[in-house]
Amino acid sequence: MTEETAAGPEARRIEALAAPLHHAEVAPFAPAEFEQRIERARRLMTERRLDGIMVTSEPNLEYLSGFVTQFAWASPTRPWYFVVPREGEAVAIIPEIGLSNWAETSWCRRTLSWPSPTPENEGLDLLASVIKKLPRRFGYFGVELGPETRLGMAPADLLRLGEMIRPFHLADCIPVLRRLRFIKSPAEIAHIRHICGIAGDAFDDLPALLRLGDSEKEICRKFAADLLLRGADKVPYTSIGTGPGGYSSIIQGPTQRRLGEGDILLIDTGAKYAGYYCDFDRNVAIGEPPVAAKRIHDLLWRATEAGIAAAVPGKTAADVFHAQAKVLEDAGIVLGNVGRFGHGLGKVMTEFPSNKPIDRTVLEPGAVLTIEPSAMFGDGKILVHEEDLVVTESGPELLTRRAPREMPVARL
Amino acid sequence: MTEETAAGPEARRIEALAAPLHHAEVAPFAPAEFEQRIERARRLMTERRLDGIMVTSEPNLEYLSGFVTQFAWASPTRPWYFVVPREGEAVAIIPEIGLSNWAETSWCRRTLSWPSPTPENEGLDLLASVIKKLPRRFGYFGVELGPETRLGMAPADLLRLGEMIRPFHLADCIPVLRRLRFIKSPAEIAHIRHICGIAGDAFDDLPALLRLGDSEKEICRKFAADLLLRGADKVPYTSIGTGPGGYSSIIQGPTQRRLGEGDILLIDTGAKYAGYYCDFDRNVAIGEPPVAAKRIHDLLWRATEAGIAAAVPGKTAADVFHAQAKVLEDAGIVLGNVGRFGHGLGKVMTEFPSNKPIDRTVLEPGAVLTIEPSAMFGDGKILVHEEDLVVTESGPELLTRRAPREMPVARL
């Protein structure tokens, strides 16, 4: 091989990456968006008898404050606290390093800071002094204790704070945040639709990215790179399954297994745009798929249709599950071992509620759900479909472009 | 514009993305790696008077169990628990959906599972029954309470667990995990060196990716896509600063600001390979930089040299700070407002210790550090350098290719 041909593909790769992209971006949230969130939060605090709440986790802190950062979530050294009282002004208690970043991105003008990292006391004195001054009507202060929460501070510090803010008692603010985030605003839905569109375009071109002999790792890297170039900000999740005639896990990989003729491939992606996720998947057959897989694919497509149709105001998450399960059970198919057939979607890739029999959450306009039926077949294989939608007054509205009824076939 | 020319760049982009990559991958950890980690963990438990520990956070659970997943960390719905007793067999208590993934990636063969999501009790009964059966010598069971921790379960469930495992008392296991992870094995260092090499190659080609008029968002997306195509698994962190003659924040962006002639650009990236991070940055001048910026750049380069030289066994994290600070202070420069001049690096982008005066952590062979001096100049501008190294018996060993002493200039 001459030096020229060796350098050729790399130079073309760089050239292709460098080409100007100039993406259309979704309009950032208007100030009124945050005013409404805070107003709703305060009403819910009153209902739940909380004098204020504090959030430290990525989705909840972003949701209430508008603060945009990668740093705070990639680096767990420094905690970032945002306090919203039931009455009075919200306050950010944040590391000094973040003051200019905060000022540029958050609507909240009141900030206190300390020269973090200071492991012996990461802003706790400041934080406690703010909380202790809040008007005390109920005596309870809400922090992130409940399900599906990933606390943004050391748990020991949260316990210490509980002692420091007496006579306030700690209570759980997750019911407030769940209720708030369950109903998405039109601006939030526009964000989710945008990232769904980007991922849909990438899925359409996925067959063109595949080469026989690619490892699953390589396929995921190419696919994630394509998502970024199309305008995704981050691609936290790209799971992949490949195997002859079907795959055996939908949350696994990527591994070093190499793509072969006769494989069926699944990619499920959680890509992110301006703090909002898509979460859906697509199947691709490498050459004509076996009859068994085609039949399951068609049943899952129909189960998805049924799930979409059931996602209307007044129905429950359980109803959405049962609508999907019935299509599969009527055909004598074993349901997938995922534990549910879809879930909430928004600032987190999977959020409340769960489409499963025990979840009686009543759907309302503005709820964003994934519809995600899965089925077992053959020798321990599983097949899965997934679409994203928003519940509206006039019925379900897809945020993803519907997958084709027949499994796409890549001829490599 | 004809349809053909419109389609051309997109087709070339897809072709460039699709080209076979077939990356060299680092050898996965040998079983002995985990045996040694567990053995060290047990010795530390005895020292700290703990009868066992449980981990739920991404870095600690991966570190001890070898479990590889994206799912558990992108989806906070289901907790994943890993219990390592001081004596006896380790146990994973995990959602059913993860059993095959666990079996394929972890060395630990003992698993218990439940059909999560089940919000009313996410495996707590199972978990408590395992802990209660542990041999009780000290009466303390360690969970992740301490600094720089991001708990992988609902805090309320941790408190509930504390009640359920009586007569065991909860204690903090973070001192054990810090000590374990502070000293990296040769295999861990190979992982960090690999991702540093990938990012170094991407930084070398960064000027070729830049176009006048690119937004900061577009630049970060192109750069992250290039990192993926070169073999990074994830790119959780790409901060960027741009501005005429210098930038004003090093943890911010990307914004919609467009690159212009005369700008200085910084990208700082935390890219990930097989569970390990690089964390370093590079500066690029768009056209000849002003004298003030060139002078600061040279001083920071020299401060970095001094920091590298100080990273030897027996010196402290504070010593590494002072070595860097002295170069800047001797030149009458105001230190950057970052709070430290580097930190530990490994399974998390920033980890213990902090290179700052209050941190007296003594360096030992196997410690991996970033050397990261920053300086203020002009009208609120900041400039920063960063390299990654490992402390060895025979001195500091760079894991990054050293940045050039003169700021690279891109002629766009």
- Cβ–Cβ pairs < 8 A, chains A and B: 280
DSSP E strand boundaries for B279-355: 280-286, 334-335, 343-344, 351-354
Nearest CA in chain B to A120: B147
Within 10 angstroms of residue A199's Cβ, the number of other Cβ atoms is 30
B5 domain residue, yes or no: no
Largest CA distance in chain B: 79
pLDDT (mean) for A202-219 = 96
| pLDDT at residue B365 in the model | 98
- Residues B231, B123 share a domain: no
| pLDDT at residue B4 in the model | 42
A4 domain residue, yes or no: no
B25 domain residue, yes or no: no
Nearest CB neighbour to A18, from listed B97, B208, B232: B208
Nearest CB neighbour to B104, from listed A252, A339, A349: A252
Note the pLDDT tens digit of each residue in A313-327: 999 999 999 999 999
- Residues B318, B243 share a domain: yes
- The answer, yes or no, to whether residue A7 has pLDDT greater than 60, is no
Helices first, then strands: H and E counts in chain A: 12, 19
- Residues A190, A133 share a domain: no
- The answer, yes or no, to whether residue A275 has pLDDT greater than 80, is yes
Give residue A278's domain range: 186-410
What DSSP string runs through B42-61?
A: HHHHHHHT-SEEEE-SHHHH
Q: How many domains does chain A have?
A: 2
- Residues A233, A150 share a domain: no
Mean pLDDT over each residue of chain A, to the nearest integer: 95
| pLDDT at residue A338 in the model | 85
B8 domain residue, yes or no: no
Among residues B127, B150, B182, which one ends one of the domains?
A: B182
Between A7 and A372, name the one with better pLDDT: A372
Tell me how close the Cα of A305 comes to any Cα of chain B, in angstroms: 24
Which residues is B91 bridged to in the sheet? B83
Tell me how close the Cα of A343 comes to any Cα of chain B, in angstroms: 10
- Residues B397, B250 share a domain: yes
Q: Which residues contact B377 (CB under 8 A, 6 or more apart)?
A: B246, B292, B293, B296, B333, B334, B383
| pLDDT at residue B289 in the model | 96
pLDDT (mean) for A340-347 = 98
- Residues A69, A191 share a domain: no
* Beta-carbon separation of B9 and A18 below 8 A: no
Tell me how close the Cα of A306 comes to any Cα of chain B, in angstroms: 22
| pLDDT at residue B7 in the model | 55
What span, in angstroms and rounded, lies between the C-alpha atoms of A128 and A355?
39
pLDDT (mean) for A274-300 = 97
- Residues A198, A171 share a domain: no
What residues in A contact B238, CB-CB < 8 Å? 70
| pLDDT at residue A339 in the model | 87
What residues in B contact A76, CB-CB < 8 Å? 148-150, 348, 350
Residue B117 backbone phi and psi in degrees, to 5:
-80, 135
Q: What ipTM goes with this model?
A: 0.95
* Beta-carbon separation of B222 and A156 below 8 A: no
Pair of tokens at residue A317: 């998450």
Q: Strand pairing of A169-172 and A140-143?
A: parallel
* Beta-carbon separation of A225 and B17 below 8 A: yes
- Residues A199, A177 share a domain: no
Nearest CB neighbour to A155, from listed B158, B221, B229: B158
Note the pLDDT tens digit of each residue in A118-160: 988 999 999 999 999 999 999 999 999 999 999 999 999 999 9
* Beta-carbon separation of A251 and B16 below 8 A: no
- Residues B158, B204 share a domain: no
Distance of CA A48 to the CA centre of its chain: 27
- The answer, yes or no, to whether residue A4 has pLDDT greater than 60, is no
- The answer, yes or no, to whether residue A3 has pLDDT greater than 60, is no
Pair of tokens at residue B198: 């990938």
Q: Strand pairing of A263-273 and A368-371?
A: unpaired
Largest CA distance in chain A: 79
Nearest CB neighbour to A340, from listed B117, B143, B251: B117
- Residues A249, A172 share a domain: no
**Any idea what the CATH number is for the domain that residue A295 is in?**
3.90.230.10
- Residues B121, B203 share a domain: no
**Angle at Cα A309 formed by Cα A307 and Cα A312, nearest 5°?**
100
B305 domain residue, yes or no: yes
| pLDDT at residue B3 in the model | 40
Task: Establish whether the linkage from the previous residue to B186 is cis, with ω within 30° of 0.
Answer: no
- Residues A261, A382 share a domain: yes
pLDDT (mean) for A100-121 = 95
* Beta-carbon separation of A222 and B249 below 8 A: no
What span, in angstroms and rounded, lies between the C-alpha atoms of B375 and B379?
12
Among residues B126, B149, B182, which one ends one of the domains?
A: B182
Among residues A127, A149, A182, which one ends one of the domains?
A: A182
Nearest CB neighbour to A17, from listed B23, B96, B209: B209
B106 domain residue, yes or no: yes
* Beta-carbon separation of B252 and A116 below 8 A: no
b/e per residue, A72-107, with b = 16+ CB within 10 A? bbbbbbbbbbbbbbbeeebbbbbbebbbbbbeebbb
| pLDDT at residue A10 in the model | 82
Reading chain B (412 residues) residue by residue, the pLDDT tens digits are 334 444 577 888 888 889 878 889 999 999 999 999 999 999 999 999 999 999 999 999 999 999 999 999 999 999 999 999 999 999 999 999 999 899 999 999 999 999 999 988 999 999 999 999 999 999 999 999 999 999 999 999 999 999 999 999 999 999 999 999 999 999 999 999 999 999 999 999 999 999 999 999 999 999 999 999 999 999 999 999 999 999 988 888 799 999 999 999 999 999 999 999 999 999 999 999 999 999 999 999 999 999 999 999 999 999 999 999 999 999 999 999 888 999 999 999 999 999 999 999 999 999 999 999 999 999 889 999 999 999 999 999 999 999 999 999 999 9
Q: pLDDT confidence of A291, banded at 50, 70, 90?
A: very high
**Any idea what the CATH number is for the domain that residue A83 is in?**
3.40.350.10
Tell me how close the Cα of B349 comes to any Cα of chain A, in angstroms: 6
Task: Report helix, strand or coil for B249.
Answer: coil
Q: Are B72 and B98 in contact (CB under 8 A)?
A: yes
Task: Establish whether the linkage from the previous residue to B147 is cis, with ω within 30° of 0.
Answer: no
A61 domain residue, yes or no: yes
* Beta-carbon separation of B358 and A122 below 8 A: no
B7 domain residue, yes or no: no
